[in-house]
Structure 1
Amino acid sequence: MTHHALGCCYPRMEPWADTLRRLRETVSSGRTRPAEFRKAQLRGLERFLRENHELLQEALTGDLRRLDFETDISELILCQNEVDLALRQLDAWMKDEPVSRNVLLLLSSTFVRKEPYGLVLIMAPWNYPVNLTLMPLVGALAAGNCVVLKPSEISTSVQKVLATVLPRYLDPSCFAVVQGGPEESARLLEHKFDYIFFTGSQQVGRLVMSAAAKHLTPVTLELGGKNPCYVDDDCDPQTVANRVAFFRFFNMGQTCVAPDYVLCSPEMRARLLPALQCSIKRFYGADPQGSPYLCRIVSDRHFQRLRRLLGCGRVAIGGQTDEQDRYIAPTVLVDVQETEPVMQEEIFGPILPILTVGSLSEAIEFMQRREKPLALYAFSSNRQVVNQLLSQTSSGIFASNDGFTFLTLSSMPLGGIGNSGMGKYHGKFTFDTFSHHRSCVLSPAHLELLNYLHYPPYRGWSRRLITWGLGSHSCTLL
């Protein structure tokens, strides 16, 4: 999803011991559990977004040179919506959920209580550094946790705002921001947390999971991968080109759910290439480098990695680069081999390989032998083709004839499967992710006579009664 690494060689230090101790004391006190405390933190987050809207826009422009409007629709508005939803629904989310009872527990109260995990760590990436930091934070605070936030050091301007301004809006007894790079992240992960939420690359995700395993800490890993995009022969090529180009090149391709490569027939490729050329020109003009609608690659290291990928296959569209400007033109590659680097790693940039297949079944077989992606896209006017792809493939998200507009829905979970991650969030799913679902049975202290039914020695009539009470035919009541 994003690319950075954890350091492994560092002096023994405990730079956050006091901070973590303070947060642990708050967890033990139970101070964060009441609904009103949680709402107060959410209202503080809402004020942070509202009062620092321009400051966040400026920070994102400094890090990515992204248009303010695109920052609003991909980050700030979505975060605001998430806070608003949590404030409206928190009381309902927090309610105990009654569960069905069998005859043996007929006089007991049975329910699931959502409790905070305690002290949680959120490690965020740089590509949408506000969205992918604050969206999980909303759920963690709503669930009543104390939070350590680790923004990405690569998005330096946003990190500074989150570290210096955001803490003014939240209670310092339950919230802290840790700055730094890979070495600081590695040190931080040596501490015990009750939950870790990580968004980033598979490589670093494995390191996070390994560190969490030492403390048996549960994790959510929001990772990336190579998201396939199948284009059927019955499609209108210009419609497909418009949608694929927009979602591939939005944020300069630095989006974990962007289509990573196209699979289509040779005939569709011949029709799709001029349509993509037309879409790119329409969106970004004859000289895309001068377009205000294209941001920039986040760092020199990422620029160099992407420029090396341009050597794969053959450049059919674009391919121009400017190292000083960290600019890479919207590029389409053809004649790419599956074994080349551009098909072995997540691209995370404005490069779109097109591979040809002989049939739908060949495309499905191609997807099935690769790691399960975070998102899978299908373009076809034939519902049967879409359903076949849906039923014979696996991915975190599936979308037909569209891109990643599903990210605007708090009602739909975001999460990967297999190599693309584990766990899910957005809306109530984030609240549930950061809540321990505690099964509770409250039985009466009296009526011991009834319990004699299942105490030994087991007599014939009591055996039959217990068997009947446990059977599927017995009534279940809420």
Structure 2
Amino acid sequence: MSEYKELLKSQREYFATGHTKDIEFRIDLLNILKKNIEKHEDDISDALYKDLGKSKFESYATEIGITLSEISHITDNLKKWTRPKKVKSPLFQFPAKSYIYKEPLGVAFIISPWNYPFQLTLAPLIGAIAAGNCAILTVSQKVPNTTEILDKIIKETFNENHVKFIPGGSSVSKELLEEEFDYIFFTGSVGVGKKIMETAAKTLTPVTLELGGKSPTIVDKYADIDIAAERIVWGKFLNSGQTCIAPDYVLVQSELKEKLVEKLKYYIEKFYGENPIESNDYPRIVNEDHFNKVSKLLLNGNILHGGSTDKLDLYIEPTIMDSVTWDDEIMKQEIFGPILPILTYEGIEDAINTVNSHPKPLALYLFTDNEDVEEKVIKEVSYGGGCVNDTVLHLSSAELPFGGVGNSGMGNYHGKASFDTFTHEKSVFKNSKSFDFNFRYPPYSKTALKLIKKFLK
């Protein structure tokens, strides 16, 4: 029996003991996880700096703090979420009662990416534990320092028969996916997501796929251009653009383009200085392969700002460009780096048609002070989630389910949505022995038919 088969077997045996179904047990473990994260806060920040060049502020705001907040929200609400829910029963079932019971799925496999390796590994795990599951998880091998601290925290918190962290990323995932899990949660690229789903289909294993795509930002003529530029620059160049929900390109009403570009340049310099390579707040590209992939995209279009690179430092300057078309390589794929193409449109219908003519994005951002425009875009464009007059921040709310639609993914999580993702809702019908409708039993009379038609209309 292989190492992974043995691990899966031991987790199934542990799950069968029923320990993970105890609500207090789940809450206690999540609180221990929270304490261990707080204990290792400096180590986590150091690891994220070594792997991605993230500042302590960015590491806390986008990785550590969000994770701690998620634990707090879930532990505060878990008892309420796990209670059996009584629902109405049809009149013809009187005096029966109907309930929905929440039960864990079993053993989950969580596969996490490198761009937010701490948060995107632990956020789905928190949901899996809250729902009462066991879990095996892995993260991309591109972030060795974060992998090391994740391994340490998981070992300090969990019995490996309950939760096991296995470093190795894609190589580990390929082997583990040959086993049969009760749920698979994957965050990563569209291409790999398709392979995950194909593999899961062989065993009818349910999946959540948190993917990506080209997330547009629409800047309307009614927008506050100064606020739009400030928040676009923040959201785009966070983590050096290596964010699945980063603004991928801007659609700006043509008469506002020049003003917006000038404001974008202003805020890039305000945030990162005249020479961003010297900024302590500007992260780096994860590795040389990704640097090569992103820097090639600078060959498309006309650079309006930035464009310098340093391969040894894995640095790509915050860059704004125009004169790109949908036939250019930069518009055929998610950029996943610090390059922001600017496209123009004439009327809001043009912008909506542009977005709708391409695969559904993971996020959409709209800057406008016109409520009619706001409602029109929200109603007529399908996307995973997004913001009005801001970028990225919808991800940070435990009250908002996060996930994609269509090509950008399936399923969602965060807060109660995380609990729901890893939970089976079991329907239970409890009938009474004191009363029955005899017409439901054969042989059926014409009166019985009339009665059933009356009841079921």
TM-score class normalised by the smaller sequence = over 0.9
Structure 1 stretch displaced more, 96-105 or 313-322? 96-105
Trace 1:407-418 onto structure 2 (pairs within 5 A): 407-418=395-406
More divergent stretch after superposition (432-441 vs 20-29): 20-29
Residue 377 of structure 1 pairs with residue 365 of structure 2? yes
Q: 1:262 aligns with which of 250, 267, 272?
A: 250
- Aligned counterpart in structure 2 of residue 226 of structure 1, from 211, 214, 237: 214
| Identical counterparts, % of pairs | 39
Q: Following the alignment from structure 1 to structure 2, what is the Cα–Cα distance between the partners of residues 173 and 337?
A: 52
**Which residue number in structure 2 is paired with residue 349 of structure 1?**
337
Residue of structure 2 equivalent to 1:465: 451
How many correspondences in the alignment?
457
2:387 and 2:393 in contact (8 A); partners too: no
Contact in 2 for aligned 1:96/1:112 (Cα 8 Å): yes
* Aligned twin of 2:438: 452
Question: Which residue is 2:202 aligned to?
Answer: 214
Asked if structure 2 preserves the Cα contact closer than 8 Å seen for 1:103 and 1:470, the reply is no
Indicate the residue corresponding to 1:50 in structure 2. Answer: 38
CA shift for structure 1 position 407: 1.8
Aligned CA-pair RMSD: 1.4
Equivalence for 1:38: 26
Whether the 8 Å CA contact 2:322–2:343 is kept in 1: the answer is: yes
In structure 1, give the amino acid aligned to 2:316: I
Distance in 2 (CA, whole Å) between partners of 1:84 and 1:238 is 35
- Structure 1 gaps of 5+ residues are 1-12, 472-478
Pair 1:237-2:228 in alignment: no
Q: Which amino acid aligns with 2:148?
A: K
Q: In structure 1, the residue corresponding to 2:364 is in which secondary structure? A: strand
- Which structure 2 segments of 5+ residues have no match? none
Instruction: Give 1:366's match in structure 2, choosing from 337, 340, 354.
Output: 354
Once residues 176 and 86 of structure 1 are traced to their aligned partners in structure 2, the CA distance between those partners, rounded to angstroms, is 21
Secondary structure of the 1:378 match is strand
Alignment of 1:305 with 2:293, yes or no, is yes
Could you tell me which residue of structure 2 aligns to residue 474 of structure 1? none
Identify the match of residue 277 of structure 1 among 265, 270, 282.
Answer: 265
1:171-190 residue CA offsets vs partner (Å, 9 max, x unmatched): 22211111214222111111
User: Which residue is 2:190 aligned to?
Assistant: 202
Q: Which string of whole-angstrom CA distances, capped at 9 and with x for unpartnered residues, describes residues 111-131 of structure 1?
A: 111110000011111111111
Q: Is the 8 A contact 1:26 1:173 kept in 2?
A: yes
Contact 1:312/1:340 (8 A) holds in 2 = yes
1:362-389: CA deviation from partner (whole Å, max 9, x where unpaired)? 1111111100001111111221112211
Candidates 291, 315, 327, aligned match of 1:327 = 315
Match of 1:398, SS?
Answer: strand
Tell me the CA shift for residue 250 of structure 1: 0.9
1:396 aligned to which of 371, 375, 384 = 384
The answer to whether the 8 A contact 2:20-2:132 is kept is: yes
CA contact (8 A) 1:333 1:353 kept: yes
Alignment match, 1:92: 80
Task: Find the residue that maps to 2:402 and give its secondary structure.
Answer: coil
Q: Note if contact 1:229-1:377 (Cα within 8 Å) is conserved in structure 2.
A: yes
For the residue of structure 2 that corresponds to 1:220, the secondary structure is strand
In structure 2, distance between residues paired with 1:26 and 1:339: 53
Report the alpha carbon displacement of residue 41 of structure 1 after superposing the two structures with TM.
1.9
Whether 1:314 and 2:302 are equivalent positions in the alignment is yes
Take 1:119 and 1:181, find their aligned partners in 2: how far apart are those partners? Answer: 18
Shifted more, 373-382 versus 449-458: the winner is 449-458
User: Does structure 2 conserve the Cα–Cα contact (< 8 Å) formed by 1:108 and 1:442?
Assistant: yes
- Asked whether the 8 Å contact 2:139–2:169 carries over to 1, the reply is no
Q: Displacement, 1:451? A: 4.4
Distance 1:31 1:265 in 2: 58
* Moved beyond 4 Å, runs of 4+: none
Alignment of 1:3-82 (within 5 A): 14-82=2-70
SS in 1 for 2:412: coil
- C-alpha distance in 2, partners of 1:434/1:171? 20
Distance 2:446 2:230 in 1: 73
Measure, in 2, the Cα distance between the counterparts of 1:272 and 1:78: 31
